[in-house]
Amino acid sequence: MQVDNVVCAFCGCVCDDISVTVEAGRITQAKNACVLGKAWFLSHGQPSDRPAAMIDGQPADLDKAVDTAARFLAQARYPLIYGLSSTSCEAQRQAVALAEVLGGCIDCCTSVCHGPSGMALQGIGEPTCTLGEVKNRADLVIYWGSNPAESHPRHMARYAVTTKGMFIPRGRKDRTVVLIDVRPTPSARAADLFFQVKPGKDFELLWALRALVKGQVLDEVGLVGTGMTLAQLTDLAERMKRCRFGVLFLGQGLTQSRGKHLNTSAAFLLVRDLNSVTKFALVPMRGHGNVTGVDNVLGWQTGYPFGVNFSRGYPRFNPGEFTVVDVLSRGEADAALIVASDPVASLPGKARQRLTEVPTIALDTHESETTRIARVAFTTSTAGIHVEGTVYRMDNVPLHLRKVLPSPYSSDEEVLGRLLARVKELKPC
Amino acid sequence: MPDGKLILITGRSTKQGTGISTGKELAEYQEATTILELSRADMARFGLHEGDTVKLWSRFGEATVKCRPEDLPDGMAFMAFGSTINQLVGNETYASGMPDTKGLAIELEKIPA
């Protein structure tokens, strides 16, 4: 059986043109998917013999596991809910409701990928556009601190570089592509211009570009050690001003380097400035398939996109205080619920150590380093393969996930809904 | 004693990305997340050959990994995201929520075969 127009929920590109072949209860092909998407469809589209629930590493009855997990959470003084970037918005809504009932902290993978972009957005505003506008209009495409060839393999072909658009009839020939990074990644081969900048100098370069865009005179001396000359930077500023529609794709090279939200704020300000000269937009290169969705869900329900604390009965936002690395490494969280994420593999040592010291509950579609240390682990079905749902593409466009296979496992939404109901019984508001 | 100082960049690689789905316990993911990439000049400077084992230190921890030459600027090392390299990453987020996972100062020592 072939199912067309299936949505891939692996990365922030959320490609919606995948043709999936299902044979004997498993996915055998994922036509149009990139290497990352194929791995996602083919791996998650296989039968699994994992127990639906485990307590302390032993198979357990689902009801018992729900009750045990709910008791851990209800008894905690500072429970943390984290992850949520690879599940549906419907599941994310349940997680936010649970955090509120618990009076706990809820954070998502945004805090360790594009949290600094969210902070810049709040301070400056977001001069943004959809990927459809990029496809149809963008004649200048800049990737800064991003390696789409490896992180978002179809981004260039489907949305931004080689694809033809309404006002870009010749596709690649009608666009100028610029890559700015600290190393020559595979993406550099697709660029017309590659600027190899020095690590930690992004802010200086973005600020210098702002000055050049505004027509101010700069001294070459100020750029020593940045990796770019004044002539190169002046040429780039002129290209930015001359283009009809420019887009700056922001990567983790800016968010994870020294400066963080100051780097992203400089980029947002540069793009804002450029809009007094031409049309320019900025789009963060969001990694996980629905990390943009969890920002949106948290935004609707709490007013904040990540790092939200309910301990006073109302939502508070403070990166560095209520964000996962900080809450865990300071030893504050005394129970953790991890949904569709593997922080034991992805967080720094002290933070992940804390997850082994407190009762950790994990919901995941497969075994991970986090499920292995979890006191209670639930195996859940995969949103976009076994269950329908909503995900948000990196440009904040929502897309509907299709179900292509049945699953013996409950969805994240169902397990979180059951945890919420049980916690309400144990901890009446 | 360490043989030299480097600036470490961590990031996504294709094999690390596919391994998230196919299984982090599999050899391909393990290899992708335990290999340090260095410039050819730095490999020569440290007397390293592809596949040699090196020990890395940062202010926050240490890790032992394999190494290989790659097209990188001298003085820079790259390693794919994963639990091995996260041993070198600190917990300080400077009021941003984000730890320093790029631009981390590390030191390297060759481990004799």
Chain A nearest-CA residue for B92? A326
Measured distance CA(A133)–CA(A246) in Å, rounded: 10
Domain boundary among A284, A310, A339: A284
Specify the pairing of strand B35-38 against strand A245-250: unpaired
Question: Residue A21: inside a domain, yes or no?
Answer: no
Note the pLDDT of residue B2.
57
Residue A162: burial class (beta carbons within 10 Å; 0-12, 13-18, 19+): middle
Q: Is A408 on the interface with B (CB under 8 A)?
A: no
Domain boundary among A256, A284, A312: A284
> Residue A8 has what DSSP assignment?
P
Residues A149 and A279 in one domain: yes
Picking from A150, A256, A287, the nearest residue to B98 by CB comes out as A256
Note the pLDDT of residue A47.
85
Measured distance CA(B96)–CA(A322) in Å, rounded: 10
Is A69 within 8 Å of A380 (Cβ atoms)?
no
Measured distance CA(B34)–CA(A285) in Å, rounded: 25
Mean pLDDT of chain A: 97
Q: What CATH number does the domain containing A347 carry?
A: 3.40.50.740
| Minimal CA separation from B5 to chain A, in Å | 14
Interchain contact, B73 vs A107, CB within 8 Å: no
Place of tokens 């990737």: A143
The architecture (CATH level 2) of B4-111 comes to Beta Barrel (2.40)
Q: What CATH number does the domain containing A153 carry?
A: 3.40.228.10
Question: Residue A20: inside a domain, yes or no?
Answer: no
Measured distance CA(A34)–CA(A153) in Å, rounded: 6
Note the pLDDT of residue B112.
87
Q: Is A347 on the interface with B (CB under 8 A)?
A: yes
Residues A271 and A208 in one domain: yes
| Minimal CA separation from B73 to chain A, in Å | 7
What CA–CA distances, in Å, run from A113 to B84, B95, B98?
18, 15, 8
Measured distance CA(A106)–CA(A108) in Å, rounded: 7
pLDDT digits (tens, 9 = 90+) for A86-137: 999 999 999 999 999 999 999 999 999 999 999 999 999 999 999 999 999 9
Measured distance CA(A361)–CA(A374) in Å, rounded: 5
Calculate mean pLDDT across residues A162-182: 98
Residues A98 and A139 in one domain: no
Q: Is B29 on the interface with A (CB under 8 A)?
A: no
Measured distance CA(A260)–CA(A270) in Å, rounded: 16
Calculate mean pLDDT across residues A425-429: 82
Radius of gyration from C-alpha coordinates of chain B: 14
Residues A105 and A120 in one domain: no
Note the pLDDT of residue B1.
45
Domain boundaries, chain B: 4-111
Sheet holding A245-250, edge to edge: A193-196, A176-181, A140-144, A245-250, A279-284
Judged against a pLDDT cut of 80, whether residue A149 lies above it is answered with yes
Measured distance CA(A181)–CA(A189) in Å, rounded: 13
Question: Residue A213: inside a domain, yes or no?
Answer: yes
Comparing CA positions, the residue from A154, A206, A212, A214 lying closest to residue A180 is A206
Measured distance CA(A404)–CA(A211) in Å, rounded: 52
pLDDT digits (tens, 9 = 90+) for A67-100: 999 999 999 999 999 999 999 999 999 999 999 9
Distance of CA A37 to the CA centre of its chain: 15
Residues A58 and A182 in one domain: no
Neighbouring CB atoms inside 10 A of A157's CB total 16
Residues A155 and A268 in one domain: yes
Residues A128 and A273 in one domain: yes
Residues A138 and A277 in one domain: yes
Selected residues 256-315 of chain A with any CB under 8 Å from a CB in chain B: 256-258, 260-261, 287, 306-307
Measured distance CA(A4)–CA(A7) in Å, rounded: 9
Note the pLDDT of residue A45.
83
> What is the span of the domain harbouring residue A84?
50-112+289-399+406-426
Calculate mean pLDDT across residues A348-366: 96
Measured distance CA(A285)–CA(A113) in Å, rounded: 9
Question: Residue A297: inside a domain, yes or no?
Answer: yes
Token code pair at residue A364: 């995941």
pLDDT digits (tens, 9 = 90+) for A375-403: 999 999 999 999 999 999 999 999 999 99
Question: Residue A22: inside a domain, yes or no?
Answer: no
Instruction: Return the SS3 of A128.
Output: coil
Which of A51-55, A348-352, B2-6 is the least confident region? B2-6
Picking from A39, A324, A351, the nearest residue to B18 by CB comes out as A39
Token code pair at residue A202: 């992004």
Domain boundary among A238, A267, A284: A284
Note the pLDDT of residue A195.
98
Note the pLDDT of residue A427.
85
Residues listed for chain A: 429
Picking from B12, B61, B95, the nearest residue to A147 by CB comes out as B12
Model confidence at A263, in pLDDT bands (50, 70, 90)? very high
Measured distance CA(A188)–CA(A202) in Å, rounded: 17
Cβ within 8 Å of residue A143, ≥6 positions away: A177, A178, A179, A180, A181, A187, A191, A249, A251, A285
Q: Is A19 on the interface with B (CB under 8 A)?
A: no
Residues A337 and A421 in one domain: yes
What distance, in Å, lies between the first and last C-alpha atoms of chain B? 17
Q: State which amino acid sits at residue A70.
A: A
Residues A268 and A142 in one domain: yes
pLDDT digits (tens, 9 = 90+) for B28-68: 999 999 999 999 999 999 999 999 999 999 999 999 999 99
Number of domains within chain A: 2
Measured distance CA(A230)–CA(A215) in Å, rounded: 13
Residues A66 and A188 in one domain: no
Instruction: Return the SS3 of A25.
Output: coil
Chain A nearest-CA residue for B83? A345
Residues A108 and A178 in one domain: no
Place of tokens 């060839």: A149
Question: Residue A130: inside a domain, yes or no?
Answer: yes
Judged against a pLDDT cut of 90, whether residue A429 lies above it is answered with no
